[in-house]
Structures are given as structure tokens and as C-alpha cells.
């Protein structure tokens, strides 16, 4: 059931309008492309909406992808799953039977697969995913750049009425929806132009993640059958994310809404209303609390007990205030919005955050810390918030894909089990790093740095 919340407060609305007027003259057409952070499967059984975006690969960020398939995405291509036209037709015949069994009508299947073929561009993208990784601060430089902030204010101004109505209906703040829109498609500028049926059929046939992509293809057929869009207009990124806020077909079926009331859930067209409302509904259905921050920058007192940091440790605001944690902005106490964690995404020398339950809700969209912080920070800045006051260890580099595996192997071998060796620095690995640091007499901030890996190599 939709939550009923009061509309935007007068003060927030005022802030929005002031911000928009100030920036109205500086905003140019937005061509910034979506930076996509790393997937972080340790945390969630919940699949994020998003999948790799072809443009994300172009900016050399590891694309986000479904939790269950992150590892499979890296599986080597074997002779058994090479693509060829005859094999594709064989697969298609079998799939057609499965689609019919799933209740898809004959006419829909015929229309969808008229002229379908292996999409060479999709195969190419899939096999050449970048292993390049970025630090959080490099990511945030792009995710919440002055250009993206200014474009966000412009987008919010242009769609203020719609976004305010969405906020009233679903209880998700207009600037949060705007920020997701900004990261997923640069406010609609980059929605993807790959035919989704071709892409899903190609990836299903190619075979490494057949069950996953056949399920997405069935969902895509259901969308066609429902009449929301025609096969030619159903476009998106090479891995299936569609429209202004990059919904996978299954996420579309679960969450998309016809907000405009024209009878179609149109997340692809120029009018973003349905896509923005669908995103709000997604967050609402995943537990969003209106009025609760995603997180706030804080300062930690001298002598802070860093073993209490990390996403898995939660205390109420009174606890953190007794510890001496204060807001970076103004030095006030940590506000009470329920259980909260202290997050140190770049270790004890970088920005410190107190994070609330809404942080976890954004994680359901994309589980990477970088993405969640990017969305939250961009949203804050769109409504006039400042840049982070704390610094980042900018001389540090990101660990490579191989180094992250090595770190986990070495921690586990040293008696600090990461529970999984998957190359993903999530809460379990961070906890193992903290335990190792504590045993070594280091500050137990859980920061998986290159320096820490060097120390582990020395034994
Ligand atoms: Ca509509």
C-alpha cells in the first residue's frame, strides 16, 4: 500500500527553489554518463535493479550486476558456449517452447522474435568487461560532480511538480529520485539503445548465465504482452537495464507503475514520470522512510573505538552521542533516526559517516557502498548541501581485481576468515580486516588498502 506523507516541507521547497535559481544559468545539456560502482554481493540476497550499462563500461567502471550472477559474469568463455547462427536457432526453438509453457502467447512470441539474431555488440561487451577499478573518491568526483549537481537541480526544477506528486504518493524525497536518475542515465540523456529482446536472447543463448537471462527474456515478453511498449521501442543497455532509471525486465514487472495514467508503464520515452514514479515505488516497497537521512557526515572523537565502526554494528543515536560522535556540519549531536552505523569508506583518515536504514534501502537498487554514497551525496548537494568536509586518502590507489582476491586469501590464511574469496570487499571482508588490524596493533578501521596488502605479504 502506498504510504501517505505530507508534501515537501516549505523549507525544503525553499531550498530547492533557491538552489535552482542560483544554478539555472549554469546548466548546459547533460552529457555526463552514468558511473557504476562495484557490485558487493556479500551483503544481500536481494538483486539490485540495475545491470551493466554499456556506457558504464565506457567510463571504465566495473558495471553493477545482479548479485547471483556477478561471479558467473567473469566465467571464461568455453568452446561449448561460442555463438553461431545455427546454434542460436536451435536454442530459440527450445526457448519458444519454454516461453509458451510460461504462458506467453504465440502472437507475442512471433512479434518479439521476428528478425531476432545474435547481437555481436552484446557478445563483445559481455566478453570485454573492464577490470578497471576506481577509488571511492574518484567515483564521487564524477557521481557528484558540479556538472551533475547543476544538471540535477535543473532536472528537479523542470520536473518539480511531477517529483513532488511522486514524493507525496510514495514517500521518497524528490531529490533522492532525481539523484538515482542522474546516476543511472544522466537524467535521461543516456537510456541505452540496444534492443532488449536481442540482448536478452543473445545472453541467454550464449549460455554462461542462461537461467538468469531466460528469466529476464520471459519478463521482457510479458512486458510486450501487457502492451506497455513494442519490441522495437524496448531498448536499453546491453545487459538488460532499461529506461531512465535502468530497470531490468523482472524489476519492471515487480515495481513499475503507470503514473501518468495513460494505461502504459512507459519508462523508455522522453517523459520520465513513469520511470521516476517506478523508482520511488521500488524504494518504498523496499522500506524507505520519508524524512530519514541516508547518512550524515560526522566527526569522531580522539580515542574513538574503531572496533565499533562498520555497517554490521548498529547502535542508537544516544550511544554514538555518548561516544562523542558529532555532525561534521555544525558540530551538533547525531540525530535519532533509529539504529545507525559508523561507516569509514576510506579508513580512519577519510570521511566518516553515520548511516541509517535508508542506506540499506538504496543498497537494494545497487549494493555498492560507492553507489549508495554517490546517490545520497548527490541528492544532498542537489538541495544545497555541501561537499564532504573530511578528506580522502587521495594518494592511495584502488586494489585491482586480483589483489582483492589475494587480500582475502591472505587474510583467511592468516586466521582472519573473509568467509568467501570472491574479490568483493563487503562487510565480511571489512570485519576480517578489522580483526587483523586489531591483532597487529593497527587502527581497526577495516580499510582494505594497498598498504594493508603489502603488510600481509610480508607475513
Ligand atoms: Ca504512463
Query: pLDDT per position in the chain (459 positions), as tens?
Result: 444 444 455 556 655 555 444 443 333 333 333 443 433 333 322 333 443 333 332 222 223 333 333 444 444 444 444 568 889 999 999 999 999 999 999 999 999 999 998 988 898 888 876 666 789 999 999 999 999 999 999 999 999 999 999 999 999 999 999 999 999 999 999 999 999 999 999 999 988 899 999 999 999 999 999 999 999 999 999 999 999 999 999 999 999 999 999 999 999 999 999 999 999 999 999 999 999 999 999 999 999 999 999 999 999 999 999 999 999 999 999 999 999 999 999 999 999 999 999 999 999 999 889 999 999 999 999 999 999 999 999 999 999 989 999 999 999 999 999 999 999 888 899 999 999 999 999 999 999 999 999 999 998
> From CA 340, how far away is CA 325, in angstroms rounded?
12
Strands annotated E in 62-189: none
- In this prediction, residue 426 carries a pLDDT of 86
Percent helix, strand, coil in the chain (nearest 5)? 50, 5, 45
Place of cell 523482472: 250
The CA 377 to ligand 1 mean position distance, Å, reads: 30
With a CB cutoff of 8 Å and minimum separation 6, the contacts of 228 are 256, 264, 265, 266
Q: How many angstroms from the chain centroid is the CA of residue 398?
A: 19
The CA 294 to ligand 1 mean position distance, Å, reads: 29
The CA 223 to ligand 1 mean position distance, Å, reads: 13
Count other C-beta atoms under 10 Å from residue 451's C-beta: 13
Contact 430, 384 (CB under 8 A): no
- In this prediction, residue 120 carries a pLDDT of 87
Domain with CATH 1.10.8.350 in the chain: 70-129+192-263
Count other C-beta atoms under 10 Å from residue 240's C-beta: 31
Smallest CA-to-CA distance from 188 within 296, 76, 80, 275 is with 275
- Residue 235 DSSP code: E
Half-sphere exposure in the Cβ direction for 99 (13 Å, CA): 28
Asked if CATH classification 3.40.190.100 holds for the domain at 70-129+192-263, the reply, yes or no, is no
pTM beyond cutoff 0.75: yes
The CA 275 to ligand 1 mean position distance, Å, reads: 9
> From CA 399, how far away is CA 420, in angstroms rounded?
17
- In this prediction, residue 56 carries a pLDDT of 34
Report the 3 state secondary structure along 204-237. Answer: HHHCCCHHHHHHHHHHHHHHHHHCCCCCCCCEEC
- Residue 310 DSSP code: S
Count other C-beta atoms under 10 Å from residue 253's C-beta: 17
The CA 278 to ligand 1 mean position distance, Å, reads: 10
Residue 264 to residues 48, 258, 274, 343, Cα–Cα distance (Å):
24, 6, 9, 41
Place of cell 520471459: 218
Contact 242, 236 (CB under 8 A): yes
160-170 vs 273-285: helix crossing angle, rounded to 10? 30
- In this prediction, residue 82 carries a pLDDT of 56
The CA 265 to ligand 1 mean position distance, Å, reads: 5
The CA 110 to ligand 1 mean position distance, Å, reads: 25
The CA 156 to ligand 1 mean position distance, Å, reads: 19
The CA 242 to ligand 1 mean position distance, Å, reads: 15
> From CA 421, how far away is CA 408, in angstroms rounded?
6
C-alpha cell at 417: 576468515
Count other C-beta atoms under 10 Å from residue 67's C-beta: 19
Residue 367 to residues 42, 43, 80, 361, Cα–Cα distance (Å):
9, 8, 32, 9
The bridge status of strand 194-195 relative to strand 326-327 is unpaired
The CA 262 to ligand 1 mean position distance, Å, reads: 5
Q: DSSP labels for 162-212?
A: HHHHHHHHH---HHHHHHHHHHHHTTTT----EEHHHHHHHHHHH-TTHHH
Amino acid at each position: 500500500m502506498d504510504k501517505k506523507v505530507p508534501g515537501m516541507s516549505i523549507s525544503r521547497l525553499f531550498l530547492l527553489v533557491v538552489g535552482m535559481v542560483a544554478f539555472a544559468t549554469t546548466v548546459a545539456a547533460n552529457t555526463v554518463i552514468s558511473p557504476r560502482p562495484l557490485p558487493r554481493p556479500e551483503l544481500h540476497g536481494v538483486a539490485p535493479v540495475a545491470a551493466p550499462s554499456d556506457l558504464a563500461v565506457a567510463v571504465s567502471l566495473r558495471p553493477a550486476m545482479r548479485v547471483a550472477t556477478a561471479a558467473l559474469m567473469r566465467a571464461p568463455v568455453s568452446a561449448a558456449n561460442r555463438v553461431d547462427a545455427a546454434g542460436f536457432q536451435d536454442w530459440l526453438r527450445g526457448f519458444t517452447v519454454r516461453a509458451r509453457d510460461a504462458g506467453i502467447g504465440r502472437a507475442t512470441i512471433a512479434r518479439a522474435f521476428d528478425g531476432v539474431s545474435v547481437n555481436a555488440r552484446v557478445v563483445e561487451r559481455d566478453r570485454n568487461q573492464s577490470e578497471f577499478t576506481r577509488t571511492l573518491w574518484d567515483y564521487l568526483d564524477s557521481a557528484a560532480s558540479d556538472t551533475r549537481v547543476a544538471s540535477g537541480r535543473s532536472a528537479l526544477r523542470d520536473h518539480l511538480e511531477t517529483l513532488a506528486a511522486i514524493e507525496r504518493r510514495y514517500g521518497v524525497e524528490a531529490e533522492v529520485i532525481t539523484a538515482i536518475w542522474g546516476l543511472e542515465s544522466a537524467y535521461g540523456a543516456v537510456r541505452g539503445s540496444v534492443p532488449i529482446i536481442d540482448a536478452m536472447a543473445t545472453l541467454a543463448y550464449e549460455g554462461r548465465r542462461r537461467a538468469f537471462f531466460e528469466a529476464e527474456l520471459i519478463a521482457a515478453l510479458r512486458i510486450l504482452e501487457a502492451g506497455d511498449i513494442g519490441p522495437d521501442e524496448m531498448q536499453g543497455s546491453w545487459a538488460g537495464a532499461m529506461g531512465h532509471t535502468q530497470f531490468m525486465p523482472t524489476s519492471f514487472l515487480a515495481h513499475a507503475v503507470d503514473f501518468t495514467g495513460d494505461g502504459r508503464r512507459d519508462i523508455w520515452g522522453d517523459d520520465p514520470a513513469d520511470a521516476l514514479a517506478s523508482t520511488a515505488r521500488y524504494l518504498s516497497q523496499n522500506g524507505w522512510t520519508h524524512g530519514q537521512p541516508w547518512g550524515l557526515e560526522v566527526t569522531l572523537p580522539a580515542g574513538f573505538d574503531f572496533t565499533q565502526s562498520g555497517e554490521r554494528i548498529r547502535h542508537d543515536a544516544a550511544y554514538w552521542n555518548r561516544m562523542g560522535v558529532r555532525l561534521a556540519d555544525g558540530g551538533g549531536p547525531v540525530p535519532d533516526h533509529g539504529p545507525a552505523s559508523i561507516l569509514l569508506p576510506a579508513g580512519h583518515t577519510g570521511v566518516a559517516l553515520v548511516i541509517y536504514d535508508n542506506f540499506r534501502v538504496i543498497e537494494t537498487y545497487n549494493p555498492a557502498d560507492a553507489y549508495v554514497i554517490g546517490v545520497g551525496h548527490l541528492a544532498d548537494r542537489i538541495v544545497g548541501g555541501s561537499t564532504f568536509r573530511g578528506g580522502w586518502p587521495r594518494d592511495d590507489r584502488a586494489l585491482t581485481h586480483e589483489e582483492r582476491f589475494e587480500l582475502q586469501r591472505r587474510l583467511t590464511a592468516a586466521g582472519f576468515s573473509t568467509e568467501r574469496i570472491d574479490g568483493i570487499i563487503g562487510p565480511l571482508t571489512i570485519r576480517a580486516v578489522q580483526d587483523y588490524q586489531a591483532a597487529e596493533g593497527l587502527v581497526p578501521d577495516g580499510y582494505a588498502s594497498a598498504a594493508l596488502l603489502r603488510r600481509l605479504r610480508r607475513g
